Amino acid sequence: MDMYKLPSKLRLFALIFMVVGAGAMIYGFMDAPSTIEEVKELEAKSHDAHGGGHGDDHAVADAHGDDHADDAHGGDEHYEHVLHQMQNRPWSALYIASFFFFMIALGTLAFYAIQHASQAGWSPVLFRVMEGITAYLPWASAIILILLALSVAHVNHIFHWMDPDLVKPDSGKYDKLIAGKSGWLNTTGFMIRAVIYLLGYNAYRYISAKWSLKQDDATDNRWFKKNFKLAAGFLVFFIYTESMMSWDWIMSFDPHWFSTLFGWYVFAGMMVSAITVIAMITIYLKSQGYLEFVNDSHIHDLAKFMFAFSIFWTYLWFSQFMLIWYANIPEEVTYFVTRIEDYKLPFFGMLAMNFIFPLLILMNSDYKRVNWFVIMAGIVILAGHYIDVFNMVMPGTVGTSWFIGWPEIGSVLFFLGLFVFIVFTALSKKPLLAKGSPFMKESKHFHY
Amino acid sequence: MGSTKVIHAIYNDDDILMNAVKAVRKEHYHIEEVYTPFPVHGLDKAMGLEDTRLAICSFMYGCVGLAVAITMMNYIMIEDWPQNIGGKPSFSYLENMPAFVPIMFEMTVFFAAHLMVITFYMRSKLWPFKKAENPDVRTTDDHFLMAIDAGHHDVDQVSQFLSDTGAIEISLHDKEDDH
């Protein structure tokens, strides 16, 4: 069985991405203003830039001007608000990128568990690719946990509800809605839940990958059967905790707002990103002469999943949007009003990237077998779902002070480098064929 | 076309049939049709049939359905009888569009599905009261029938070849007029 060797070029590529990304992130942190005076200077500059053709700056500056005029209490409150938004921005950018790659690893793990639980016959040839991708999960989990702990420790203020004054009835900042939710939304419970989710996911990943390796040399199907039962159990744990995780880690950025299908919505984005990455890495490995047992039909099936989950994602997006839009209840509809007013381009842009583009590109059966087509579609889908996470996090943390600049690009590059480095290192540690799976023969002969 | 005779070879297993179809095609005999009690996966490819163009029809029908839904809702809800529903009397199709998406979706699916079925019937020359073309009723139960154009081949030699491929019954028939 040929083992995958990590090419030194790929390692170099990953390391360069990490270094450049880290540099850009650090620059983003340093560049964030630390005093109200700096914010005032920045806004004055963007006012000067009126004639300079900076359409976005123009709009932001104008919006601020209006806020300013409405503000009867004097200007400093507005500048302090903007200061907090700008200080949140590098943290939010870091959080979004770290969550996005975490999502890919976790979605792959769920997809992997589904293959075991359903005893799928087509997919065992891809097991080791999936196991390689999930190897990123412990790293992603540690980073997410650190970021959450930093927020809880008030190092940053991206989670608005963590401000203890909001739930004190006698403080000036008392917020009845947030206080009403504090039974769930409190920092102690938040951290305990985070640890439970992450321990559960990582325990399943660790045990399942170990048993999968043991099955390689087993004489019977003992480890396969054990993995089947474990996967079924994990999926129950996953579907509950995934929903709660998305309330905690994403939905709570807008603590007044709620959506009952939010967990499903995040899940759909997670699955489509994960399957896209599985397809891309499989095609890459094939192009390097590995995975000779993977044929066009496997790629075709992965592309069908990419197509189907893109439609599923759109279905959930629309279900969430239409009910809120139609009912027009102020405390619900603000979520979409802020996104459509302040995030028009990313909001509608990601709809085009995540729905219309995959719909038209991946509809034709033949195109799903053309590798470069799947890769191109995959790049757009991944970018689209990054922007989707961006749209979920940014409005609640930085408001109108958003931009895709150094902190955003830097953190994506950093986590992309880390992801590639860890995943491809993990791929080189195990044989690329999980030869012990009883469905291996069926999987190798799979044809559509 | 020249010949008026057709050889019917009957099989009782889909795997044997698949291999027989491949062997017959290798010998360059012309398979007119294969009758099976259920869809045999991969048979179309083995017989060398062209890919169906039904999917392209389906896409176009879907587009027609979408266009009909847009036109219809625009006429009903915006032009002819505008209504104030949920405090959204905007009288603009685009601004009310989210409410029409379920209808647009359903009409797309409705047109694609129904017109595709009708197209399929027309292409397969199926209509009510049509006389069944099935040459042997056992193909609706558990047997498979391959019809081979006898052409100018030696019938005995072809029969021998077919029985070697696993056919359990071989017979020679006149072609029916409506073929």
Ramachandran angles phi, psi of A405, nearest 5°: -135, -145
What is the distance between the alpha carbons of residues A191 and A16, in angstroms, rounded to a whole number? 33
Is position A78 within any domain? Answer: no
Instruction: Tell me whether residue B136 is in a domain.
Output: no
Give the number of residues written for chain B.
179
Residue B68 lies in a domain: yes
Report yes or no on A229 lying in a domain. yes
- How high is the pLDDT of residue A1? 53
CA–CA gap between residue A251 and residue A230 (Å, rounded):
29
Count CB atoms within 10 A of the CB of residue A285: 19
CB-defined contacts A:B, below 8 A: 20
DSSP 8-state code for residue A338: H
The total number of structural domains that make up chain A: 1
How many other CB atoms sit within 10 Å of the CB of residue A376? 13
Query: Does residue A49 form part of some domain?
Result: no
Residue in this structure with the two tokens 């006012």, named with its chain if needed:
A47
**Residue B91: which domain range?**
54-123
> Is A124:A439 a contact under the CB 8 Å cutoff?
yes
- B3 pLDDT tier (thresholds 50, 70, 90): low
B153 pLDDT band, cuts 50/70/90, is confident
A30/A24 Cα distance (integer angstroms): 10
pLDDT at B82 over 70: yes
Q: Are residues B63 and B117 in the same domain?
A: yes
Number of domains in chain B: 2
Residue A352 lies in a domain: yes
Q: Same domain for B70 and B82? A: yes
- As beta bridge partners, residue A431 has A3
Report CA torsion sign: A379, A385, A387, A393.
negative
What is the b/e burial string over A169-194, where b = at least 16 CB atoms within 10 angstroms of the residue's CB? eeeeeebeebeebbeebebeebbebb
Q: Stretch B20-38: mean pLDDT, rounded?
A: 91
DSSP states along B30-91: PEEEEE-SSPPTTHHHHHTPPPP-HHHHHHHHHHHHHHHHHHHHIIIIIIIS----TT----
Minimal CA separation from A325 to chain B, in Å? 8
Q: Is B42 an 8 Å CB contact of chain A? A: yes
- What pLDDT, on a 0 to 100 scale, did the predictor assign at position A48? 59
What range defines the domain where residue A403 resides? 8-33+87-444
Q: Does some domain include residue A243?
A: yes
Residue B131, domain member (yes or no): no
Nearest to A406, CA basis, from A23, A18, A24, A21: A24
Q: Are both B145 and B102 inside the same structural domain?
A: no
DSSP states along A382-425: HHHHHHHHHHHHHHHHTTT----SHHHHHHHHHHHHHHHHHHHH
* Contact between chains at B98 and A322 (C-beta distance less than 8 A): yes
Which residues are A287's β-sheet partners? none
User: Are B87 and A327 an interchain contact pair (Cβ–Cβ within 8 Å)?
Assistant: no
Looking at the structure, do residues B74 and B113 belong to the same domain, yes or no? yes
CATH code, domain with B46: 3.30.70
* B17 and B68, same domain (yes or no): no
What's the pLDDT score for residue A427? 94
Helix, strand or coil, per DSSP, at residue A177 = helix
Rounded Cα gap, residues A138 and A421, in angstroms: 14
Of A322, A328, A363, the CB nearest to B87: A328
**B63/B92 same-domain check:** yes
Q: Which helix (H) or strand (E) holds B149?
A: strand B144-149
Query: How large is the ipTM?
Result: 0.79
**Least Cα separation, residue A445 to chain B (angstroms):** 13
- Residue A364's pLDDT is what? 87
* Sequence-separated contacts (24+) of A148-155 with Cβ below 8 Å: A148/A190, A148/A191, A148/A194, A148/A249, A149/A191, A151/A91, A152/A187, A152/A190, A152/A191
Distance CA A298, CA A291 (A): 11
Residues B90 and B77 in one domain: yes
Domain-located, residue B134: no
In this structure, the answer to whether residues B39 and B78 fall within a common structural domain is: no
Conformation bin of residue B87: beta by default, left when phi > 0, alpha when psi is -120 to 50: left
Residue B117 lies in a domain: yes
Chain B contact set for A322 (CB, 8 A): 98-99, 101-102
DSSP class of B175 = P
Asked, for residue B119, whether it belongs to a domain, the answer is: yes
* One domain for residues B108 and B66: yes
Cβ burial A238-264 (10 Å sphere, 16+ → b, else e)? beebbbbbbbbbbbbbbbebebeebbb
Q: Are residues B44 and B59 in the same domain?
A: no
A58 assigned to some structural domain: no
Residue with token string 């999502």: A103
Instruction: List the single residue in B59, B88, B101 with the smallest CB-CB distance to A318.
Output: B101
Give the pLDDT confidence score for residue B116 in this predicted structure: 95
Q: How far apart are CA A22 and CA A417, in angstroms?
A: 10
Q: Does B88 touch chain A (CB under 8 A)?
A: yes
Strands (E), A174-223: none
Amino acid at B104: M
Q: How far apart are CA A444 and CA A428, in angstroms?
A: 21
| Tokens encoding A377 | 């579609």
The answer to whether position A399 is within a domain reads yes
Using an 8 Å CB-CB cutoff, list chain A residues near B42: 447
Which residues of chain B lie closer than 8 angstroms to A312, CB-CB? none
φ and ψ of B172, to 5 deg: -110, 135
Q: Given this model, what pLDDT does residue A63 score?
A: 42
Is A194:A145 a contact under the CB 8 Å cutoff? yes
User: E strands within A276-429?
Assistant: none
From chain B, pick out residues whose CB is under 8 angstroms from the CB of A363. Answer: 59
- CA atoms within a 13 Å half-sphere pointing along the CA-CB vector of A131: 25
Q: Can you give the pLDDT at residue A32?
A: 85
Q: Which 3 state secondary structure label does DSSP give A219? A: coil
Low-confidence ranges of chain A (pLDDT < 50): 50-72
